[in-house]
Amino acid sequence: MKRKILVSFIIMALAGVSFMSALAEGPGNPPSGSPPDKPSGGTPGGGNSSSDITYVGSTEYSEDGSYAGTSYESTTGGENALLVTGGNVTLTDIDVSKTGDESSESSDFYGTNAGILAADSGSLTITDAEIETGGSHANAVFAYGTGEITISDSVIHTSGNNSGGVMVTGGGTLSSNNNQVTTEGNSSAAIRSDKGGGTLTVNGGTYTTNGQGSPAIYSTADITVNGAELISTSSEGIVVEGKNSVTLEDTVLTDSNTSLNGKSETYKNIFIYQSMSGDANEGTASFTSKGSAITPKNGDVFYVTNTRCVITLENNDFITESDGAFLRAEGAGWGSEGSNGGDVTLLLNDQDIEGDIILDDISSLDMTMEGSTYEGTINGSNASCDISISLSSDSVLILTGDSYITELENADTSNSNIQLNGYTLYVNGKAIDERDEKDEKYDVDEASATADTEASDSSEDVTESGDSQTFSVIRYLPCIIGAAVLIIITVLIIIFGTKH
């Protein structure tokens, strides 16, 4: 009897060891957690209704008419100096003076305190005007909803806070041609939009801002600028919020950026983000510049946070006078911590750029170069785990420091268009000069993201192909053997016990 008990104990011990060995091996579960969510929250910013807004104008037009040499004035808050709600109205050689403060959102969303407002079905054409506003939230020229404005060869000046130069909201349409626009107050972009956006086109002219939080362009709309000069002496040069766009062509942008505003902790020239305030739809932002001269005097050239964006650059002249990065994408003060990075698609065509590219671990970059040159360090801190670079054979990559990316596609299979300058370009932890030069595309499992894991990569590639949740038979071999031994010995005991 004792002998049977001893044998049973040994059997159980062997089975236990086998089972624990299998547990230690594990079923090959994927890493814990899930990919960061895209920014969420906020109220869509498109297509607002002004049905509950009461418009009041010192002078109002609602029918077709032409007027020349006239003056329009308002000193009352919540009142327009000139209000156009219908018809096609043409104004030439006019003066507009608007004072009086307003603090409600209706002034910025619907233009209730603007110097000139075209709303409802009003269509307004202005030439050779002088427009001055002095109140707070007193935007100068404002198109809301189905309102349309074309203003040309005019001088526009605002001195109060929250008082933009030319502005659209709620889907309004405005064309600004060869105008001289200057704003002095805080939060007073020269080319401005707000909730509901619209279409704003600028041809020629000069647009200057002097206040804190007053970029030359603040876009929650589709804004196009051709052949103009943009100057920001205190704030960013351009801000794009949410699913909106700015397009520059043959334009000069100069940004001093001497004061931080709101949640900003870094100086920057072109700022692309989602504020989550509900003033701009969530989605992919767009910045495009062609044949322009861009001069950032302080901070980063591009800064992206809490949004996805596409940056397209062609034949621009970047005259960098600061020591900031060329591109910085990271989580900052907007959105949910941990999922508020910047996802950037950077398209370079016949474009030369210099400066570092810096990303944190929740941001990503997909950079495509066609006939272009980049000089700098990419992800020098090895923080981001999602950086893809594609080079045409006539593009050149010049390193100024060790750089870390996850995917490289190079039309020049010899990599002769990559100048290392004594530094190393790591592709998922592997230096490119350690790879087969015949490989045109390097795409290694992200599990081998550091150079220290090179020795184990070759074996992992053989045994861990396919989905990470696939169970390996080898991992369960100790358990299988243990079970087999248990069955055999149990059968022997039964036989042995029967005979004795």
pLDDT tens-digit series, residues 289-310: 999 999 999 999 999 999 999 9
What is residue 40's predicted lDDT score, i.e. its pLDDT?
A: 28
Instruction: Give percent helix, percent strand, percent coil of the chain, each to the nearest 5.
Output: 15, 40, 45
Tokens of 285: 């932002």
- DSSP class of residue 243 equals S
Q: How far apart are CA 272 and CA 311, in angstroms?
A: 10
Query: How do the domains of the chain map onto residue ranges?
Result: 2-31+468-499, 57-363, 364-448
Indicate whether 35 pLDDT > 70: no
pLDDT tens-digit series, residues 438-477: 444 444 433 333 334 443 444 344 333 343 333 334 444 4
Indicate whether 496 pLDDT > 50: yes
Q: What is the CATH number of domain 57-363?
A: 2.160.20
pLDDT tens-digit series, residues 212-229: 999 999 999 999 999 999
Tokens of 464: 């861990």
Confidence of residue 397 (pLDDT cuts 50, 70, 90): very high
Q: The pTM is what? A: 0.78
Q: Which residues contact 104 (CB under 8 A, 6 or more apart)?
A: 78, 112, 137
The beta-strand segments (E) located in 371-494 are 373-376, 387-391, 396-399, 403-405, 407-410, 418-419, 425-427, 430-431, 441-443
- DSSP class of residue 220 equals S
Mean pLDDT over each residue of the chain, to the nearest integer: 83
pLDDT tens-digit series, residues 108-138: 999 999 999 999 999 999 999 999 999 999 9
Query: CA 67 → CA 126, 173, 260, distances in Å?
Result: 10, 22, 44
User: What are the residues facing 295 on neighbouring strands?
Assistant: 254
For Cα atoms 273, 278, 284, give the angle at the middle one, nearest 5 degrees.
Answer: 40
The beta-strand segments (E) located in 13-85 are 57-61, 65-68, 71-74, 80-84
What is residue 334's predicted lDDT score, i.e. its pLDDT?
A: 85
What is residue 431's predicted lDDT score, i.e. its pLDDT?
A: 95
Confidence of residue 279 (pLDDT cuts 50, 70, 90): confident
Say which residue, 351 or 275, is predicted with more confidence.
351
Q: How far apart are CA 56 and CA 285, in angstroms?
A: 35
Q: Which residues contact 74 (CB under 8 A, 6 or more apart)?
A: 57, 58, 80, 81, 97, 98, 99, 100, 115
How many helices, marked H, and strands, marked E, lie in the chain?
A: 4, 42
- In the chain, the amino acid numbered 464 is E
